[in-house]
Amino acid sequence: MRIRHSVELAAPVSIVYQLFRQPEELPRLLQSVIEVTPEEPNGVRYRVVVGDRESVGIEIELVEATPNQRIAWKQLDGPIAAGRIDFVPLHGAATRLELELVDREGEDRTAVESIHRRVDGELAALQRLLAGLARSRPPEGSWSASSCWGAGADERADRA
């Protein structure tokens, strides 16, 4: 089953894309991501929280990275088989992030539903974070992924 999530973010497409191309920094932005370990040549191992604070390891292999347009992966284990993020430029300095996850056949529906609820929460938190950064900058102000990482760490500490 394919499940789609979409959110409009108040940041330029280049910055949103860059945030997701630096997976080792995701624990600073996303509450469910505990640890990320890049593996050669195109792999990444994540330690994430699912359900009620259960920590699990997930290994993915990057299959596509088209700058400022798309990141796609296959997941080597767990209830999700594959995923992709499309980065759609919108008016001004906004981006629509379109996430599609493909569930692995025969997986426990409760676990899959828990993952999708968590994804919705993470995208909403990212939307709030980037909206706050956009309000604190003039429209012509410079954006950088590093400014987002710092703000994400601050917001994550506030949630703890």
Q: What is the CATH number of the domain that holds 17?
A: 3.30.530.20
- Residue 159 counted as domain residue: no
At 91-107, the pLDDT tens digits run 878 999 999 999 888 77
* Separation between Cα atoms, residue 77 and residue 64, nearest integer Å: 18
Evaluate whether 72 touches 82 at the Cβ level (below 8 Å).
yes
| Measured CA distances, 119 to 2, 5, 91, 93, 139 (Å) | 14, 8, 25, 23, 29
Q: What is the reported pLDDT for 73?
A: 92
Mean pLDDT of 20-35: 84
pLDDT, average across residues 10-37: 86
Tokens for 25, please give them.
């920094």
Residue 47 placed within a domain: yes
pLDDT tens-digit readout, 126-141? 888 888 777 665 454 4
Give the least confident one: 23-37, 58-72, 124-138: 124-138
Q: Is 28 part of any domain?
A: yes
| Lowest-confidence region among 51-65, 73-87, 134-148 | 134-148
For the chain, the domain total comes to 1
Q: What's 116's DSSP letter?
A: H
For the record, the structure tokens of 148 come out as 């987002």
* Assigned token pair, 72: 């796609």
Note whether residue 116 is domain-resident. Answer: yes
Question: Among residues of the chain, what percentage have pLDDT more than 70?
Answer: 80
**Is residue 160 situated within a structural domain?**
no
pLDDT at residue 88 above 80? Answer: yes
**Residue 44 in domain:** yes
What pLDDT sits at residue 50? 67
- 94 located within any domain: yes
Q: Is residue 82 part of a domain?
A: yes
Alpha helix (H) residue ranges in 56-144: 109-135
Parent domain of 12: 2-154
52-62 burial: b if 16+ Cβ within 10 Å, else e: eeeeeebebeb
Q: What pTM was estimated for this model as a whole?
A: 0.79
User: Is the predicted pLDDT of residue 145 greater than 80, yes or no?
Assistant: no
